[in-house]
A and B are shown apart, each in its own frame.
Chain A
Amino acid sequence: MAQYLVLIYSNEKSWADTDEAFSNKIMEGHNKFGERHGVSLRGGNALEPTMTATSIRTDASGKSVATDGPFAETKEAIGGYYVVEADDLDAAIAIAKDIPAPFGGIEVRPIRDMS
Chain B
Amino acid sequence: MLAATLRITRDFDVAEECVQDTFARALATWGEQGIPKNPGAWLTTVARRRAIDVGRRRDVAIRSQQFLVVDGSEVGRVLNEGEFEDDRLRLIFTCCHPSLATDTQVALALRMLCGLSTTEVAKAFLVKESAMAARLTRAKKKIAIARIPYRVPERAELRERIDAVLLVVHLLFTTGHTSPVGENLSQADLVERAIDLARMLRALLPDDAEVASLLALILLTDSRRGARVGSTGEFLALADQDRSKWHGESIDEGLALVGESIRRGRPGRFTLMAAIAAVHSSASHWDETDWGEIVGLYDLLLEAWPSPVVALNRAVAVSFAFGPFAGLAAINDLSTDPQLSTYPYLAAARGDCLERLERFAEARDAFEEATMLTENLVEREFLRRRITQLS
CB of B64 within 8 A of CB of A87, answer: no
User: Is the beta-carbon distance between A87 and B69 smaller than 8 angstroms?
Assistant: yes
**CB pairs A–B below 8 angstroms (20 shown):** A2-B147, A87-B69, A87-B71, A87-B147, A87-B149, A88-B69, A88-B147, A88-B148, A88-B149, A89-B97, A89-B99, A89-B146, A89-B147, A89-B149, A90-B157, A93-B99, A110-B145, A110-B146, A110-B147, A113-B64
B153 at the interface (CB under 8 A from A): yes
The complex places the Cα of A44 from the Cα of B144 at a distance, in Å, of 25
Question: How many angstroms from the CA of A63 to the CA of B389 in the assembled complex?
Answer: 74
Contact bitstring A79-93, B, C-beta under 8 A = 1, else 0: 000000001111001
For A87, A88, A93, A110, the residue with the greatest tally of chain B CB atoms inside 10 Å of its CB is A88
Structural contact, B153 and A90, CB atoms closer than 8 A? yes
Report the Cα distance A110→B71, complex, angstroms: 19
Which A residues lie within 8 Å of B69 (CB)? Answer: 87-88
A108 to B146, CA, bound (A): 9
Question: What 4 A-B pairs are tightest by C-beta distance, nearest first?
Answer: A88-B149, A88-B147, A88-B69, A89-B146
CA distance A90 to B320 in the complex (A): 48
Query: Interface centre among B64, B147, B148, B153, by most A CB within 10 Å?
Result: B147
Cα–Cα, bound, A88→B64 (Å): 15
Q: Name the B residues within 8 Å of A87 (CB-CB).
A: 69, 71, 147, 149
Q: Which residues of B contact A (CB under 8 A)?
A: 64, 69, 71, 97, 99, 145-149, 153, 157
Per the 8 Å Cβ criterion, residues 59-115 of A in contact with B are: 87-90, 93, 108, 110, 113
- Give the CA-CA distance A2 to B149 in the complex, in Å: 12
Chain B proximity mask over A22-43: 1 for CB below 8 Å, otherwise 0: 0000000000000000000000
Contacting residues, chain A, for B153 (C-beta < 8 A)? 90
| Beyond A89-B99, A89-B148, 8 additional pairs, beta carbon < 8 A | A2-B147, A87-B149, A88-B69, A88-B149, A89-B147, A89-B149, A90-B148, A113-B64
Contacting pair B146 A90 (CB below 8 A): no
The B interface, classified by DSSP as helix, strand, loop or mixed, is: loop
Residue ID in chain A nearest B150 by CB atoms? A88
Q: What are the residues of chain B within 8 A of A110 when measuring CB–CB? A: 145-147
The closest CB in chain B to the CB of A94 belongs to B157
> In the complex, what residues of B have CB within 8 A of residue A90's CB?
148-149, 153, 157
B148 — which chain A residues lie within 8 A by C-beta?
88-90
The distance in angstroms between the C-alpha atoms of A88 and B157, with both chains bound, is: 15
Q: Which residues of B contact A113 (CB under 8 A)?
A: 64
- B157 nearest in chain A by CB position: A90
- A93 to B153 alpha-carbon distance, docked (Å): 13
- Distance between Cα atoms of A108 and B145 in the complex (Å): 12
Query: Whose C-beta in chain B lies nearest to the C-beta of A86?
Result: B147
Q: Which residues of B contact A2 (CB under 8 A)?
A: 147
How long is the Cα–Cα vector from A110 to B142 in the complex, in angstroms?
Answer: 10
Residue of chain A at shortest CB distance from B71: A87
Q: Which of chain B's residues have a CB closer than 8 A to the CB of A88? A: 69, 147-149
| Closest A residue by C-beta to B148 | A89
Q: Which residues of B contact A93 (CB under 8 A)?
A: 99
A97 to chain B, nearest CB (A): 11
In angstroms, Cα B321 to Cα A79, docked, is: 56
Using CB atoms, name the residue of chain B closest to A113. B64
Nearest CB on B from A107, distance (A): 11
Chain A, Cβ-Cβ closest to B97: A89
User: Could you tell me the distance between the alpha carbons of A110 and B146 in the complex, rounded to whole angstroms?
Assistant: 6
Measured between alpha carbons, how far is A108 from B142 in the docked complex, in Å? 13
Measured CA separation A87–B151 after assembly (Å): 13
The distance in angstroms between the C-alpha atoms of A88 and B143, with both chains bound, is 10
Which residue of A is nearest B149, CB measured? Answer: A88
- Inter-chain CA distance A78–B146, complex, in Å, is 21
A89 to B157, CA, bound (A): 14
User: What is the chain B residue whose CB lies nearest that of A93?
Assistant: B99
Output the least CB separation between A40 and chain B (Å): 14
B166 to chain A, nearest CB (A): 19
Complex Cα gap A93–B97 (Å): 12
Roughly how many angstroms separate A70 CA and B149 CA in the complex, as a whole number? Answer: 35
State in angstroms the CA–CA spacing of A87 and B148 once bound together: 10
A92 → chain B closest CB, angstroms? 8
Nearest chain B CB to A83's CB is how many angstroms away? 15
State in angstroms the CA–CA spacing of A89 and B151 once bound together.
12
Residues of A within 8 A of B71 (CB): 87
Q: Across the interface, name the chain A residue whose C-beta is closest to B99.
A: A89
Whole-angstrom CA separation of A89 from B146 in the bound complex:
6
A113–B153 Cα distance when bound, in Å, is 25
Most buried by B among A88, A90, A110: A90
